[in-house]
Amino acid sequence: MRSLVLLMLLLITTVGALTSTTSFGVATSNSSRSLRPQTTDASVRERARAALQQLRQGNGDTVWPLLRHSADPTLRSYLISALADLPDAEIIAKRLQRETDVSARRALILSLGGFTKEQLTESVRRRLVATLLRWYRDDPDGGIHGAIDWLFRSGRQGNAPRKFEWGQAAAL
């Protein structure tokens, strides 16, 4: 089941562009699309957990670049899934307001699909819905539209129901 969610995230997150070098070992460039080898799936999962721990400790500056599109989206996909392990979605909502990289914004939107109703307080939900509906209407990026559409319309992750139904399909 989790692999199906990761596969879906991989497919959705590959829409888009370029990234930079990060402190977690992923390095890409516009021309070469080179990538330092990532040894195993387990090591990539461990790197995602370490990045999540950095977020919990207030060191988001080292983590947010990992959400940018790269030639190998594995770490990014694991991190998108892991973000739902945060105690609440407030840090995601705040980052969405400041994030300028479109591929990182897509990833942050996708991460919201893993949060529960308890993690998404009413005030955070209201702010997010207003922002995301505006972006759906006005943002020129198709990946942003696709991520918001998936979040608001689809109440499922693979064959299982999602943890929280946003109930915004009619607003799209």
> pTM here?
0.73
Provide the residue range defining the domain that includes 47.
Answer: 2-171
What is the token pair recorded at 20? Answer: 């930079």
**Tens digit of each residue's pLDDT (9 = 90 or more) over 42-57:** 899 999 999 999 999 9
Q: At 34, is the secondary structure helix, strand, or coil?
A: coil
Q: What pLDDT does 166 receive?
A: 77
Q: Looking at the 3D structure of the chain, how many domains does it have?
A: 1
Q: Is residue 17 helix, strand or coil? A: coil
CB 113 within 8 A of CB 120: no
* Least confident segment among 22-31, 123-132, 136-145: 22-31
CA distance 75 to 66: 7
State the residue for tokens 């973000």: 83
3-state helix, strand, coil in the chain (%, to 5): 60, 0, 40
